């Protein structure tokens, strides 16, 4: 039987369980889009920019079992999508990137969009493939899907030349979808050693990241067995319920909230799961990690990369922790509830929230008051999509997340502009759940026109825009050492115009007294299938614990001469104005 390459590719995507693709049709993929239009399973979603397409695919993969998939044009489509592809690569998010390619049946150079896409995308993906025959299309797409989901997940790029898409070729039997087995390469002796270390410790603690997102039951059971405090990475905020009495918050070092700093102060044995101990997770490497470090991760490259591991447990988090929990139960008895620890954590959390509420925000909105009202209004299974900026750390410190995958955030690649499109992908994957975004005004301006896609699709999404007129995370970092803030003032932006242009509802919130009513109205509009922009005139004058801690850590790390130079410059500019 002969079929076009486009027909073969779409049938392969259907067999892989793909439900949505994101992208823009162009010269080199119109055949694919024509076949997608005939599919009864796959809905192709038109975006305003391929960068938005990649973030949508990312949001879909992070919040569901669906595989976020792009169908883009070569060259410009690939470069536009690169930020979202890179985000998925560094954050461990599975993604299929299907791209058209120039004609390979012509002996002509300088074709439209001619570019070595594989050289460009190799550092941003787990693998890249160039399909050369019709017979390769199905096995290549299946292999790409398997690679994207195996080990530490990530994006995989497949280029299908336009001539293969257009012309018919032989097609064989469609194979069954690959089965991804949970990998576990840890030895029994390492499991025993880890269990013995944890049982012998006076003050064990858990630090868990995104890699533990499917091991919530295991991390909870181990924490309760040991009565150990639990901190998470930024990306892993949702992996351990903030409602649990042993949950302390984001991070555990100088840049962490008081509940975490105090609970981890005397930690003598740490179980770290699904984390790389990367810069953000450690507050610019400002943490003190105990000598007795047990590090569990599916990617062996992370072991001892930044902090030496006494025991390294390689494998899927759920599989490894099942073994560890069983060994703990065989070797010892569960510790009685440490009420003193739990009460201290609760007191520290309450005191930190009250400290923020006491802060005088003037005529603007107090962040803690907003987050308290939001938490009281939305259900625990609501999905919050957070962008990159100062609002990221406010969310991390002031909004308790109580379910796995109920919060997603760009971390190591740190792409601004993530939240608006990623929320669309999350909502498409989870139509019955509330989805809303927390996004700074600077990040919002990068991708806000993607709300057009949400309106066209009838998606009820709420975008809470923290509006202060600056790129505040960088502005705050500039303020003390420079005594000025170059290129971080955004100027006057009227977001009601964005709402008109994109078909969204618009609500402006200029005072604390308006917050609760605005949240209620926004949720009503969203429930009716309308996207909503909530324009919050937000007070950013109080620094987060993360910002203060990271700045101090980085400053202390500088050579003495450079510290003196920076202080002298700041003082001089302060005096001279």
pLDDT at 392 over 90: yes
Looking at 3.30.470.10, 3.40.50.1220, 3.30.420.40, 3.30.70.890, the CATH number of the domain 188-341 comes to 3.40.50.1220
What does the pLDDT read at residue 481?
67
Protein fold of 2-170: Rossmann fold (3.40.50)
Percent of the chain scoring above 70 in pLDDT: 95
Domain 359-546: which CATH class?
Answer: alpha beta
What does the pLDDT read at residue 178?
85
pLDDT at 414 over 90: no
The domain limits of the chain are 2-170, 188-341, 359-546
Mean pLDDT of 432-452: 96
Nearest partner of 419 among 376, 381, 453, 465, judged by Cα: 465
pLDDT at 473 over 90: no
Nearest partner of 536 among 350, 354, 374, 353, judged by Cα: 374
pLDDT band at residue 488 under the 50/70/90 scheme:
low
Instruction: Give the Å distances, CA to CA, from 225 to 38, 251, 346, 546.
Output: 54, 22, 19, 30
Looking at per-residue pLDDT, the higher value among 509 and 550 belongs to 509
pLDDT at 554 over 80: no
Instruction: Give the Å distances, CA to CA, from 52 to 47, 72, 78, 471, 547.
Output: 7, 12, 12, 20, 28
What does the pLDDT read at residue 61?
98
Looking at per-residue pLDDT, the higher value among 362 and 104 belongs to 362
Is 2-170's fold the same as 188-341's?
A: yes
pLDDT at 55 over 70: yes
- For the entire predicted model, the pTM comes to 0.94
Query: The tokens 């299309």 sit on which residue?
Result: 137
Sign of the Cα torsion 546, 344, 238, 188 reads positive
pLDDT band at residue 235 under the 50/70/90 scheme:
very high
Structure tokens at 80: 């536009």
**pLDDT digit string, tens, across residues 240-268:** 999 999 999 999 999 999 999 999 999 99
> What gap in Å lies between CA 272 and CA 274, rounded to an integer?
7
Mean pLDDT of 527-541: 96
pLDDT band at residue 179 under the 50/70/90 scheme:
confident
Mean pLDDT of 469-496: 70
Structure tokens at 475: 């502005």
Looking at per-residue pLDDT, the higher value among 565 and 442 belongs to 442
| Averaged confidence pLDDT in the chain | 93
pLDDT at 477 over 70: no
């Amino acid at each position: 039987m002969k079929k076009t390459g486009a027909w073969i590719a779409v049938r392969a995507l259907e067999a892989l369980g793909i439900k949505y693709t994101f992208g823009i049709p162009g010269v080199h993929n119109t055949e694919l889009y024509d076949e997608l239009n005939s599919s009864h399973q796959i809905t192709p979603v038109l975006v305003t920019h391929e960068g938005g397409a990649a973030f949508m695919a990312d949001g879909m993969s992070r919040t569901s079992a669906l595989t976020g998939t792009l169908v883009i044009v070569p060259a410009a489509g690939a470069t536009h999508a690169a930020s979202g592809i890179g985000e998925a690569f560094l954050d461990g998010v599975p993604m299929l990137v299907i791209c058209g390619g120039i004609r390979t049946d012509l002996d002509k150079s300088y074709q439209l969009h001619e570019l070595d896409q594989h050289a460009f995308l190799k550092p941003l993906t787990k693998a890249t493939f160039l399909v050369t025959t019709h017979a390769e299309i199905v096995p290549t797409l299946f292999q790409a899907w398997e690679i994207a989901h195996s080990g530490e997940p990530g994006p995989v790029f497949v280029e299908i030349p336009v001539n293969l898409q257009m012309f018919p070729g032989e097609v064989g039997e469609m194979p069954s979808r690959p089965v991804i087995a949970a990998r576990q390469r840890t030895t029994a002796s390492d499991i025993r050693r880890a269990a013995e270390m944890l049982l012998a410790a006076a003050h064990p603690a858990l630090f868990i990241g995104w890699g533990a997102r499917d091991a919530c039951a295991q991390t909870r059971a181990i924490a309760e067995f040991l009565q150990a405090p639990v901190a998470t990475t930024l990306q892993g905020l949702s992996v351990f319920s903030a409602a649990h009495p042993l949950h302390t918050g984001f991070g555990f070092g100088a840049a962490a909230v008081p509940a975490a700093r105090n609970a981890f102060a005397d930690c003598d044995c740490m179980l770290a799961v699904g984390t790389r101990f990367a810069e953000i997770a450690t507050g610019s490497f400002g943490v003190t990690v105990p000598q007795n470090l047990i590090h569990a991760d599916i990617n062996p490259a992370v072991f001892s990369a930044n902090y030496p591991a006494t025991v390294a447990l390689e494998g899927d988090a759920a599989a490894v922790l099942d073994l560890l929990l069983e060994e703990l139960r065989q070797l010892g008895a569960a510790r009685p509830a440490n009420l003193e620890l739990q009460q201290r954590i609760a007191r520290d959390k309450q005191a930190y929230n009250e400290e923020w509420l006491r802060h005088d925000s003037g005529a603007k909105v107090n962040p803690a008051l907003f987050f308290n009202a939001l938490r009281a209004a939305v259900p625990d299974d609501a999905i919050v999509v957070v962008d990159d900026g100062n609002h990221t750390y406010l969310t991390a410190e002031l909004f308790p997340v109580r379910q796995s995958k109920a919060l997603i955030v760009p971390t190591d690649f740190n792409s601004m502009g993530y939240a608006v499109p990623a929320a669309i992908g999350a909502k498409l994957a989870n139509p019955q759940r509330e989805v809303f975004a927390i996004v700074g005004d600077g990040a919002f301006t990068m991708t806000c026109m993607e709300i057009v896609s949400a309106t066209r699709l009838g998606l009820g999404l709420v975008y809470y825009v923290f509006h202060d007129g600056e790129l505040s995370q960088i502005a705050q970092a500039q303020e003390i050492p420079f005594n000025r803030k170059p290129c971080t003032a955004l100027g006057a932006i009227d977001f009601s115009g964005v709402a008109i242009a994109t078909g969204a509802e618009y609500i402006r919130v200029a005072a604390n007294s308006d917050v609760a009513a605005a949240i209620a109205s926004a949720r009503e509009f969203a429930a009716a299938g309308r996207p909503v922009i909530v324009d919050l005139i937000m007070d950013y004058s109080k620094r987060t614990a993360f910002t203060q801690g990271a700045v101090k850590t980085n400053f202390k790390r500088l050579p003495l001469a450079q510290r003196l130079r920076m202080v002298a410059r700041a003082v001089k500019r302060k005096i001279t104005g």
